[in-house]
Amino acid sequence: MRIIAFISFVFLSFSIQAQAPTFFKTFTPDNIGPGSVSTLTFTIINNGSVGITNIAFTDNLPAGLTIADPANASVSNSSGTLTAPDGGGTIIFVDGTLGIGESMTISVDVTGSTPGVHMNVSSVLSSSEPDAGAAIDDLTISTNVPGFYKSFAPSSVSLGGTSTLTLIIDNTSNGSPISNLDFVDNLPPGMVIASPANASTTCGTPTIPPTLTAIAGSNTITLDANGIASFPAVAAGSSCIVSVDVKATGIGDLDNITNDLLADFDEVGKASATLESTVT
């Protein structure tokens, strides 16, 4: 007797569904004083099952906002080309790539002096996968908090030369005093506090004096001005300054960006400026 076995084969087919990446943006902080700096960060996440190439988007900043000078532009965890010129109005990113499950961030500092809510809408995010929708976020420039900005005088020195760094906390548009002011300014590589530092400040009051720390040869400046409403760190409709001499120990464009200013313990933006150091 013969036994005939019948074996059936089942063929399974699998398809990979195309999936658009996640795309969003944030301003940090999202409420700043006039002239202060906020960091605009774009986040792109690949949640799909294949790698993504040709990632690209354009972001035209709205009226009242510009790219800061310095732009402090950076890209993390991806190839690609980022264009964000100092003082410009358009951010362009092209040729980005992301592996499966990877994410990337693109950061650019922005600034503005026009009070109001500034809505920023990017283009759609294009790539080798389906397009992702536009990234949207708001930056508020408020006169209820002080502006924060800085400058170097002179703005260009020879290697080993000294410049005066002046940081301005501008409360002139605010009808209320600010009782507490705090910031940290970490100088970039190639720059140190000069000797003598000639450090001074007009913030605070003689009744409740501030603490300004700027040690010659070091690279950190701190202000701690904690007052009360009747003896504020900066009065309503007024401004105060911090002044420190710095020395160029490296060459090139030395971009100096503070941490966020704390005004009554709220982050209200950074201050930034560039000192050019040359060899003569």
From the list 244, 241, 239, 264, the residue with the least C-alpha distance to 256 is: 244
pLDDT tens, 57-101? 999 999 999 999 999 999 998 889 999 999 999 999 999 999 999
pLDDT tens, 130-166? 999 999 999 999 999 999 999 999 999 999 999 999 9
Is the pLDDT confidence value at 17 over 70? no
Q: Going by CATH, does the domain composed of 147-278 fall within 2.30.42.10? A: no
Cβ atoms of residues 42 and 110 within 8 Å: no
Confidence of residue 12 (pLDDT cuts 50, 70, 90): very low
What CA–CA distances, in Å, run from 225 to 132, 188, 209?
46, 24, 7
Kindly report the average pLDDT of the chain as a whole number. 94
Give the angle subtended at the CA of 41 by the CAs of 40 and 46, to the nearest 5°: 155
The reply to whether 147-278 shares the fold of 22-141 is yes
- Any idea what DSSP says for residue 100? T
Q: Hey, which CATH number is domain 22-141, 3.30.420.40, 2.60.40.290, 3.40.50.720, 3.40.50.2000?
A: 2.60.40.290
Q: What is the rounded CA–CA span in Å between residue 36 and residue 170?
A: 10
**Beta bridge pairs of residue 125:** 132
Q: What is the rounded CA–CA span in Å between residue 186 and residue 256?
A: 8
Q: What is the rounded CA–CA span in Å between residue 13 and residue 11?
A: 7
Confidence of residue 188 (pLDDT cuts 50, 70, 90): very high
Q: What is the rounded CA–CA span in Å between residue 183 and residue 181?
A: 7
What integer pLDDT is reported at residue 271 of this predicted model? 99
Calculate mean pLDDT across residues 37-63: 97
Is the pLDDT confidence value at 120 over 70? yes
Q: Pairing mode, if any, of strands 156-158 and 272-278?
A: parallel
Structural domain spans, the chain: 22-141, 147-278
What integer pLDDT is reported at residue 7 of this predicted model? 41
Q: What is the rounded CA–CA span in Å between residue 238 and residue 231?
A: 13
Buried b or exposed e, range 135-145, using 16+ CB within 10 angstroms: bebebbbbebb
pLDDT tens, 197-240? 999 999 999 999 999 999 999 999 999 999 999 999 999 999 99
pLDDT tens, 230-243? 999 999 999 999 99
